[in-house]
Chains A and B, each alone.
Chain A
């Protein structure tokens, strides 16, 4: 079964077309790299999959079902622009985010404990986020993305700002999640990270041509898609 299938997804903003008829197919239990320069439309596609914004045209299927509101619980999303409530305690914050994903208090508590132990940060529960270092906060953000055991995990530039030790740690966890049956979408503009991790790669690129005549580099359309299967 495919984890995700988009068909002719199109998104038009007032001034430019962000996505032009994008079709991708992501097989279950794989790591799928979404590669492309900044502004190509990767984040727009990811936001559509997360139902943060809606596409004008096209269809999306997730694990064989048309994408609906109930699916937010089986997706874990680490956005490129990510942060936490600074004044909240780590534990309270994770409990809140887990419940928003649909877990009840008991399950949320049990799973957060497991993940804090995995990262050896059990004693952080009562720490305020504003007292954490950047690396520490990144661990908490990663936990918030995966604690509800999502079947589809979407990571947008996950390593930006990570130190090498943390990046290695997160890479290990990503591979572990894949072993346990999760599908992972990995969006980045850095070729090397995709090459070393992904089973499949799709290239999303800007159009260099404009139908109106005058050149406008701000108007991105999806023109080329190469899917290369490494396995």
Chain B
């Protein structure tokens, strides 16, 4: 064991003392807020400077009304279609909308002419506005008056609560959970991939620099592999811890600078206001404030400690599972280029977990595919951390944890058998058949 400890120490110190580690560790927490802030800024500027698109309307039915909105300015025409088309072509306007006389029970023949392909969003906004008008026309035919028409379209603010088994109501916010699952899932995917590839590179380096035979004359190949995997894991954990600390310090400092309070603190205050028996305060809040409060209440009811623990477990579990496979790949090849053909199959299940996160987990966190993705060890690291914020039954979490532990023990065992033979082989043309033979080889 003391030899494994020596190897862990070397792997750890060797990486941590590098300049690149220092740069990555300090820059990442700085770069991310800058990028996100930059994108927000650009998006805001664009939204501010966006002008309404002009649409020329040739309405032969004379039944519809067109009101200018933020998005569209309408210009009404009164001329034959052919002439209107020609005139439109000479302008820079966004589009020409042609509405023939139509039967409201069967509206047909409406056409939108544009010069370039318009975005789906714009077209669907235009379409729904026309549909609403036709709907209103039909309702009017049934002699329903305008006041009733208006009341038919109320603005709904759907509050969400989770009813727990004990009957307790917990407010929930799908948007918030989606964001959290999305972020954590991607984080695990990136961590496992980045550090897994570091293991592979480390193994290839030892092989190409030919130090490996000297080392394995002092330690067992399995000890060397284990030491390397654990050493790099400790680098990852250190880096992650530094990021968390840096990000918290940075956000506190920035918030302090702008005179704002920490979001958690605000949340706490809002919550205490809401649960206070004095309901006047609550009533005084307008709707918008109410929504913000709901969001913060939802945030405060997410079990962050549990999520953090689950995250660390799945990071380590996923990393160990894939790390062993990456070590085996590194041991089998003589160069980085050669590694690619084996690296790809190893990353496929990880990729499936990643795609599953978007296709199933975040859309339907409690569906059968989401369940399977989050218990099968190869996809569970990404899938389970993406799912955990939505609330996962304890038995499923336990099953997933047990399977992941079993999974990494299995891959470590398989990888160890390939590794012990692979690291001593140079210049061999490696195929899956050769890998299988190494795996079966005795002694």
Contacts and interface: CB of A to CB of B under 8 A. Distances in A.
A82 B210 contact: yes
Contacts of B214: 77, 79, 82-83, 97, 141, 144
A83 B210 contact: yes
B209 A72 contact: no
Contacts of B215: 97, 100
B218 A100 contact: yes
- Report whether over half of chain B's contact residues are helix, strand or loop; otherwise say mixed: helix
A193 to B, nearest CB: 21
Nearest to A75: B217
B133 to A, nearest CB: 72
Nearest to B208: A83
Given A53-B443, A87-B14, A97 B209 contact: no
Contacts of B285: none
Contact of A52 (B211, B424, B426): B424
B6 A96 contact: yes
B14 to A, nearest CB: 7
A180 interface: no
Interface in B192-214: 205-206, 209-211, 213-214
A51 B222 CA distance: 13
B7 to A, nearest CB: 8
Contact of A14 (B206, B216, B221, B437): B437
B219 interface: yes
Contacts of A101: 218
Contacts of A123: none
Contacts of B10: 96
Contact of B6 (A72, A75, A99): A99
Given A72-B218, A100-B3, A85 B441 contact: no
B216 A54 contact: no
A97 B218 contact: yes
B441 A13 contact: yes
B221 to A, nearest CB: 8
A100 B215 CA distance: 8
Nearest to B213: A79
A14 B428 CA distance: 14
B209 A84 contact: yes
B219 A100 contact: yes
Interface string A112-144: 000000000000000000000000000001001
Nearest to A145: B214
Given A52-B424, A79-B214, A100 B14 contact: no
Given A14-B437, A96-B6, A96-B10, A86 B209 contact: yes
A92 to B, nearest CB: 8
Contacts of B437: 14
A77 B217 contact: yes
B442 interface: yes
B211 A84 contact: yes
Interface in B87-114: none
A84 B215 CA distance: 10
Contacts of B442: 54, 56
A52 B211 CA distance: 14
A81 B210 contact: yes
A104 to B, nearest CB: 10
A75 B443 CA distance: 20
A86 B218 CA distance: 19
Nearest to B442: A56
Contacts of A99: 6
Nearest to A54: B443
Interface string B425-443: 0100000000001001111
A54 to B, nearest CB: 3
Contact of B217 (A14, A50, A86, A87): A50
A88 interface: yes
Interface in A40-95: 47, 50-56, 72, 75, 77, 79, 81-88
Interface in B396-443: 424, 426, 437, 440-443
Given A54-B443, A99-B6, A72 B217 contact: yes
B331 to A, nearest CB: 14
Nearest to A14: B437
Interface of A: 13-14, 47, 50-56, 72, 75, 77, 79, 81-88, 96-97, 99-101, 141, 144
Given A83-B214, A97-B218, A144-B214, 5 more contacts: A13-B441, A47-B424, A96-B6, A100-B219, A101-B218
10 contacts: A14-B437, A47-B424, A79-B214, A83-B210, A85-B209, A87-B14, A96-B6, A97-B218, A100-B3, A144-B214
